[in-house]
């Protein structure tokens, strides 16, 4: 039988009621055999996540202070779940051990990992499943990514198709030193753990359960009640994430993408909703249905433009220009050019405190006729694989912007024709996104 890895985020595990929903979801499909859990998250906006409480304990312990306040809050949260659900909880002794380790000077990663560890212990007891502690099987490298030996080790631990497993998310061990100390991924990293488990187990699908019914076509702060994307490719979702859409942990895509395993984003509170399917290859249906997948964007960019007659005849001019940026450790986003001019767009943050030296360096290196620096730019990306085969998409975008009086500062379309990047003044950003959304969705 094919298996599905189901990963539940913090809000899906925040209290006993959420645990009950998780159980119902797992039991509703016998293929859901591998459950990956985050630590319990916020129950209401003013609440504190278990992971944040754990970091607080560690900080207090390092300062030689009393960490019993946040530790008691953690104990109470787990106890409330166990009592309501009548689980014989192994969590109190795990937290006693944490308390001793905090006093003994454990590292922050170990402390933070205990949220997922305790949650997995409790969920495994609740589901009558086998608990998997990834502190011996998921090897994390110096760059924070997963090391390849993980897949075989973890695959062996998850091998029995008849069993249900509950694995703690967010951490593994430091694969770069012999001590094999507990090491966490970056914040929100349980998404990565779920993807690793899916690949290690050869799962048919990776379901990522959260508190929204999928990926939205556009930021809901800019457009009221935007449509959910029903199907999106890995390639498109990377573009959306890079351009600021809050999809899910960017790095979580890589392990499943390499293995060709699709991801479905689902809502724990509305399991009946279809959610969003992220797939290696869009179905013919999806390609026919959607001209674009979505619109994403970011503010806070600057553009340095240089102009010089016959610029394009000067060999290595782009190399020289980017070389100046490289010397200052500045990476750029786009580099549009015309016959006599080149522009480079970068995050304004990267120019802070050194704009003058960078500009002087460019002037020296290129001796341009003119050099202009513009700030307060926003970039937005209209993303969609359908673009390359559908004429008129760019026309639709530019007509919408033209009609609404938005001045386009930059246009860039990558060779893969999966997105159109448009630069506008920051003040026009919201309007630009809204107009483009309206042009495609109505």
Considering the complex, state which of residue 267 and residue 419 has its C-beta at the smaller distance from ligand ASP. 267
CB of 250 to ligand ASP, least distance (A): 13
* Contact with ligand ASP (CB under 6 A) among 78, 110, 117, 170: 170
Residue where the block lists tokens 């959607």 = 290
Per-residue x/- track, 84-123, ligand ASP (CB under 6 A): -------------------------------x--------
Considering the complex, state which of residue 37 and residue 401 has its C-beta at the smaller distance from ligand ASP. 37
CB of 117 to ligand ASP, least distance (A): 11
CB of 188 to ligand ASP, least distance (A): 4
Considering the complex, state which of residue 118 and residue 229 has its C-beta at the smaller distance from ligand ASP. 118
Q: Which secondary-structure segment (H or E) carries 124? A: helix 108-127
Tokens found for residue 248: 């899910």
> Which residues, numbered 24-63, are part of the site for ligand ASP (CB under 6 A)?
38-39, 49, 51
> Which residues, numbered 343-372, are part of the site for ligand ASP (CB under 6 A)?
none
Nearest to 440 by CA among 110, 218, 263, 264: 218
What is d(CA 303, CA 197) in angstroms, rounded to the nearest whole number?
42
Per-residue x/- track, 375-394, ligand ASP (CB under 6 A): --------------------
What is d(CA 296, CA 418) in angstroms, rounded to the nearest whole number?
13
**Residue 267 in contact with residue 209, Cβ under 8 Å?**
yes
DSSP 344-391: EEEEHHHHTTTHHHHHHHHHHHH--SEEEEEEEEEEEEEE-GGGGGST
> Which residues, numbered 187-206, are part of the site for ligand ASP (CB under 6 A)?
187-190
Cβ-based neighbour number of residue 358 at 10 Å: 19
Considering the complex, state which of residue 49 and residue 58 has its C-beta at the smaller distance from ligand ASP. 49
Phi, then psi, of 377 in degrees rounded to 5: -105, 150
Considering the complex, state which of residue 51 and residue 350 has its C-beta at the smaller distance from ligand ASP. 51
**Residue 422 in contact with residue 432, Cβ under 8 Å?**
yes
Tokens found for residue 422: 């448009």
Nearest to 75 by CA among 103, 101, 105, 54: 54
Q: Which residues contact 399 (CB under 8 A, 6 or more apart)?
A: 439
**169 near ligand ASP (CB under 6 A):** yes
Q: Give me the sign of the Cα torsion angle 138, 24, 270, 211.
A: negative
Judged by CB under 6 A, the stretch of 124-132, 184-192, 315-323, 405-413 that binds ligand ASP is 184-192
Considering the complex, state which of residue 10 and residue 255 has its C-beta at the smaller distance from ligand ASP. 10
Considering the complex, state which of residue 248 and residue 437 has its C-beta at the smaller distance from ligand ASP. 248
Judged by CB under 6 A, the stretch of 67-75, 158-166, 173-181, 185-193 that binds ligand ASP is 185-193
Judged by CB under 6 A, the stretch of 133-141, 157-165, 183-191, 275-283 that binds ligand ASP is 183-191
Write out the residues near ligand ASP by the rule CB under 6 A.
Answer: 9-10, 38-39, 49, 51, 115, 169-170, 187-190
């Amino acid at each position: 039988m094919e298996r599905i890895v189901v990963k539940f985020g913090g809000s899906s595990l925040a209290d006993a009621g959420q645990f009950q929903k998780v159980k119902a979801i797992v039991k509703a499909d016998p293929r859901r055999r591998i459950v990956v859990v985050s630590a319990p998250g916020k129950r209401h906006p003013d609440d504190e996540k278990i992971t944040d409480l754990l970091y607080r304990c560690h900080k207090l312990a390092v300062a030689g202070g009393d960490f019993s306040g946040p530790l008691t809050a953690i104990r109470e949260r787990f106890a409330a779940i166990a009592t309501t659900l009548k689980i014989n909880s192994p969590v109190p002794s795990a937290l006693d051990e944490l308390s001793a380790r905090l006093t003994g000077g454990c590292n922050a990663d170990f402390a933070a990992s205990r949220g997922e560890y305790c949650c997995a212990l409790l969920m495994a007891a609740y589901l009558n499943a086998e608990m998997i502690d990834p502190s011996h099987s998921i090897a994390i490298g110096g760059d924070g990514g997963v090391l390849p030996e993980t897949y075989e080790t973890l695959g062996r631990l998850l091998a029995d198709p008849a069993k249900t497993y509950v694995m703690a998310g967010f951490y593994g061990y430091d694969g770069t030193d012999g001590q094999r100390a507990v090491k966490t991924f970056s914040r929100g990293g349980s998404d990565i753990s779920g993807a690793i488990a899916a690949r290690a187990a050869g799962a048919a699908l990776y379901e990522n359960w959260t508190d929204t019914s999928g990926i939205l076509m556009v930021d809901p702060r800019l457009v009221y009640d935007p449509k959910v994307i029903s199907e999106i490719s890995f390639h498109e979702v990377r573009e959306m994430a890079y351009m600021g859409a809050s999809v899910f942990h960017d790095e979580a895509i890589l392990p499943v993408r390499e293995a060709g395993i699709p991801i479905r984003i689902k809502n724990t509170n509305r399991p009946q909703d279809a959610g969003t399917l992220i797939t290696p290859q869009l179905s013919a249906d999806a390609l026919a249905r959607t001209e674009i997948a979505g619109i994403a964007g970011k503010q806070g960019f600057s553009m340095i433009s240089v102009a010089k007659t016959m610029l394009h005849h000067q060999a290595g001019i782009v190399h020289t220009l980017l070389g100046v940026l490289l010397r200052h450790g500045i990476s750029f986003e786009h580099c549009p050019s015309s016959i006599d001019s080149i522009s480079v767009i970068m995050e304004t943050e990267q120019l802070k405190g050194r704009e003058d030296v960078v500009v002087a360096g460019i002037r020296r290196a290129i001796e341009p006729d003119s050099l202009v620096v513009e700030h307060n730019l926003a970039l937005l990306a209209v993303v969609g694989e359908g673009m390359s085969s559908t004429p008129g998409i760019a026309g639709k975008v530019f007509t919408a912007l033209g009609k609404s009086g938005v001045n386009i500062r930059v246009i860039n379309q990558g060779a893969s024709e999966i997105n159109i990047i448009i630069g506008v003044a920051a003040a026009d950003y919201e309007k630009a996104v809204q107009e483009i959304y309206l042009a495609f969705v109505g």
